[in-house]
Amino acid sequence: MNDDIPEVADIVATTRTWLEKAVIGLNLCPFAQAVYLSERIRYSVSGARNADELVGDLAREISFLMAADPQQCETTLLIHPHVMGDFLDYNDFLDIADATIEALGFSGEIQVASFHPRYQFAGTAVDDIENYTNRSPYPTLHLLREESIERAVDSVPDADAIFERNIETMKRLGPAGWRALWGNGTHK
């Protein structure tokens, strides 16, 4: 990625706006609003410039989350604007993220959800609108507690259909609607 990345506060603010407008505003994740409104999301901006540094930051954030009281910190967004700008590199890194969780002894307790500015599902074209369900302003590893996921899934009827509903939402919105959502064009 380039060196004219905004300051940490701006990165967090842009990420919060993405959560408000896309993730919560479009109801892409029906579980996000309660955690967001109760301010139990940790925003950690990594200064990592390579995969090894990112693994170190990931390990620290996993350990922090596991030690934190879920009533204070339910989930973590590890935003890494300086590394893994290429989606294929990022996608490959997800295996390393899973191995890091396992090495720390937290398999079955923590999982990673992936978000990236150039996110692309297998079998889709780069600009297919369904990819935008996982497109964030910066490469981001979302660390989730397994028990939180289980509780959330149990509380939402037909949770298995969320992915399909999200694709339908994006298709209704379309590329023009996605651009209009951002107004000033900060998140394409």
pLDDT, tens digit (0-9, with 9 covering 90-100), for 3-12:
566 799 999 9
CB contact set of 184 (below 8 Å; sequence gap of 6+): none
Q: Which is more confidently placed, 85 or 30?
A: 85
pLDDT (average), residues 129-155: 92
3-state secondary structure of 134: helix
Averaging pLDDT over each range in 106-110, 149-153, 181-185, which range is the top one? 106-110
The tokens of 135 are what? Answer: 């497109």
What does the pLDDT read at residue 3?
53
Encoding tokens for residue 69? 């009281």
pLDDT in tens, 16-51: 999 999 999 999 998 899 999 999 999 999 999 999
- pLDDT at position 2 over 50: no
Residues 49-74 have pLDDT tens digits of 999 999 999 999 999 999 999 999 99
Which has more confidence, 188 or 84? 84
Domain ranges of the chain: 8-182
Q: What is the CA radius of gyration of the chain?
A: 16
- Say yes or no to pLDDT of 1 above 50: no
**pLDDT band (50, 70, 90) for residue 150:** confident
The better pLDDT of the pair 175, 151 is held by: 175
Using DSSP's 3-state secondary structure scheme, residue 141 falls into strand
**CA 74 to the chain's CA centroid:** 14
Phi–psi pair at 78, nearest 5 degrees? -95, 100
**pLDDT tens across 115-127, in order?**
999 999 999 999 9
